[in-house]
A = this chain, B = another copy of it.
């Protein structure tokens, strides 16, 4: 089969001779044996526009956009993918816009399946617990959309956010102190796009922060540092506890149909991490 394919890729003379002007090799038809599930562009860097209440944000996003390709088609239209990305992402990024983009790609390339993933940092304000100082924090977001025409569309939103975690075992067995560290909570949620809250970024953020040993802040004065140190000590969390607490909250979000939560603690007493994963179809 491999040999036959190689020949096919080489023997496109007849096909090319029919064409005038610049030849279009991608347009070659034949029996290329394999449907391709995903073909397109990855690691695309484009600025996006987020119209947040607090401020306009235009972070550089990292994007992957692919379509399927039937076994009788040799190549896809890479430049149409990037052109549509440039066109659509010049408008403020919303879930309806992303949905429109993948439908447009499916039509324009006449393919049944389209996959799009957009990764970007999102910035939000925090207020320190005692001195009430405002500072800027960030989380990493991903919009992930899988379109399979005629009508299947799966939309996932993903947030990865940092928190403080403190070990219950270390606290319990030690005369004083307890090891604590940065933990990262990743929440992947398949959403009901007709029901999703406008406030979904803050909803997910609050679920993460409220279940950690303590939130993380950029600016802390000493009064605040005392507060978060003691708060963490009063709220020890195994990585397992944290995953379950976050799952319990995600269960109750009505616009989430399926979720996966991954908690990873950058253990201060080891060079490796502790990790826990819960996935639920609700």
Contacts and interface: CB of A to CB of B under 8 A. Distances in A.
A41 B123 CA distance: 19
A216 B82 CA distance: 14
A170 to B, nearest CB: 5
A175 B164 CA distance: 18
A210 to B, nearest CB: 8
Given A58-B58, A82-B219, A220-B270, A229 B178 contact: yes
Contacts of A216: 269-271
Contact of A138 (B45, B136, B230, B249): B45
A72 interface: no
A205 to B, nearest CB: 13
Interface residues of A, number: 116
A5 B269 contact: no
Given A5-B248, A9-B241, A57-B58, A272 B82 contact: yes
A269 B170 contact: no
A80 to B, nearest CB: 10
A75 interface: yes
A240 B76 contact: yes
B26 A169 contact: yes
B9 A174 contact: no
Contacts of A33: 244, 247-248
Interface of A: 1-2, 5-6, 9, 16, 22-26, 32-47, 55-60, 64, 66, 69, 74-76, 78-79, 82-83, 86, 121, 123, 133, 135-138, 162, 164, 166, 168-182, 211, 214, 216-223, 225-226, 228-230, 232-233, 236-241, 243-245, 247-249, 251-252, 264, 266-280
Given A9-B237, A34-B248, 18 more contacts: A5-B241, A9-B245, A34-B247, A42-B273, A47-B59, A56-B58, A64-B275, A75-B238, A86-B135, A86-B136, A174-B225, A177-B180, A177-B233, A178-B229, A181-B266, A182-B266, A216-B271, A266-B266
